[in-house]
Structure 1
Amino acid sequence: MTAAGRTTPPTARRADVRSRLRSTGPVVIRPADGDDLEGVVAVGRAAWRETHATLYSPELIELFLDKWWTAGANAPAIRSGRTIVADRDGEIVGMASYGVTDGRFVVWKVYVHPDAQCSGIGGRLLEAVEERAAGHDAVYLTFTDGNTRAESFARTRGFVHDGREQQNGLPDVLWMRRGLGEAAPEVSATDVSATDVPATDVPSATEDGDDRP
């Protein structure tokens, strides 16, 4: 409400959110809790839509958003402790989720809100996830073929191609892998924007612990 008792217009509310997302305050990387659910979904919907605008039709984008980026779809990973968030002054500006599928430690999602990108948040989220991969010899991630930003993100972090899956008329899914015994390359200031892109973006899921968006 405004001082005169009027409701703040939606455009003003959106401008306020964008302003907070672009804040230069410190970013804290931490495990997500139930209070973060709305922010996790908001980040995912904004970043996923922007990333896939040229890869899928508008109708498919809306279908996948309604399937993967809802409170119901993201709550299980938060409850089970498999979601990490980037928190800036109480605003969720990035998220990552992970799980173990067929014995492989997989980073299913790394997303940074478009208004908070180009500051290294994505790379910090990935590092936080990798710290939780104790007992595994490698970390895997996936993305849709044609998502060049995701591929740049992965290569910058030392990942190499590991395989591909056909998707029945949709773009293939690419898998990348980095051995945990291999030191991740240092990311220079000129490469920092490559650490702020969605790294995992597969629109399907088949197993428990599989949080593909």
Structure 2
Amino acid sequence: MSIIVRRADSSDIPAIQAIGLLTWPTTYLPFTSPNYVLANLNSWWTESAVRQTIEEDVTFVACDGEQVLGAVTVGEFEGESVIWKIYVLPEAQGKRIGLMLMNTALELIGENCDARLEFVKGNEHARDFYEKAGFTFDFEEEPGDGSVTVWMRRKARATSR
């Protein structure tokens, strides 16, 4: 397996959608409802939603040859860099692909800027992964759909003057 990470383009939309469709149910059904999973698949993983993240944010894909195994999107929220949607196909997990995607996202953001991300409370696998990448708890919020969103932050590295 020879994994490369590259910037996504519109030809990657079906593969990125497949990642969402294959990862969301197994990731979120253990601690949310089927309605929550379905609602988010229908809002964040549609062709138009994935196209929008490719066009308005920066999306990277991890590939083994022509097969897309994972994706990450870096965008902005409240004037700060945010890592959105970092997912790896179930059969490719445990092969450091998520780490490659995370490192690519952090490299894009740069060491001199804070990086933020969020996950649904109950997703302990995500929390552990993010903590290993240097993120710490920032705050929680309730978006009104019965879930709790946990926000984490990785502080910019201090620069010497």
Same fold (TM over 0.5): yes
Report which of the two structures shows the higher radius of gyration computed on alpha carbons. Answer: 1
Letter in 2 for 1:100: E
Letter in 2 for 1:119: K
* Aligned counterpart for 1:80 among listed residues 56, 73, 82: 56
Higher relative contact order (CA closer than 8 Å, sequence separation 6+): 1
Whether the 8 Å contact between 1:164 and 1:175 is mirrored in structure 2 is yes
CA deviation digits over 1:36-66, x for unaligned, max 9?
A: 1100110111111111011222232122211
Q: Aligned partners of 2:78, 2:56: CA distance in 1, in Å?
A: 18
Aligned-pair CA distance for 1:95: 0.2
Aligned-pair CA distance for 1:131: 1.2
- Structure 1: give runs of 5+ residues left out of the alignment: 1-24, 183-213
User: Equivalences for 1:82-161 in 2 at 5 Å?
Assistant: 82-134=58-110, 137-161=113-137
Whether the 8 Å contact between 1:110 and 1:122 is mirrored in structure 2 is yes
Q: Give the direction of change, closer, same or farther, for the CA distance of 1:146–1:119 in structure 2 (3 Å limit).
A: same
* Aligned counterpart for 1:39 among listed residues 12, 15, 25: 15
Report SS of the residue matched to 2:32.
coil
Letter in 1 for 2:136: V
Whether 1:48 and 2:24 are equivalent positions in the alignment is yes
Whether the 8 Å contact between 2:57 and 2:75 is mirrored in structure 1 is no
- Structure 2: give runs of 5+ residues left out of the alignment: none
Aligned-pair CA distance for 1:100: 1.2
Q: Give the direction of change, closer, same or farther, for the CA distance of 1:120–1:178 in structure 2 (3 Å limit).
A: same
Q: TM-score, normalised by structure 2?
A: 0.92
CA deviation digits over 1:134-188, x for unaligned, max 9?
A: 4852111100111101101111111110111112251210011112317xxxxxx
Whether the 8 Å contact between 1:105 and 1:136 is mirrored in structure 2 is no
Q: Relative to total residues, which structure has the larger strand share, 1 or 2?
A: 2
Q: TM-score, normalised by structure 1?
A: 0.70
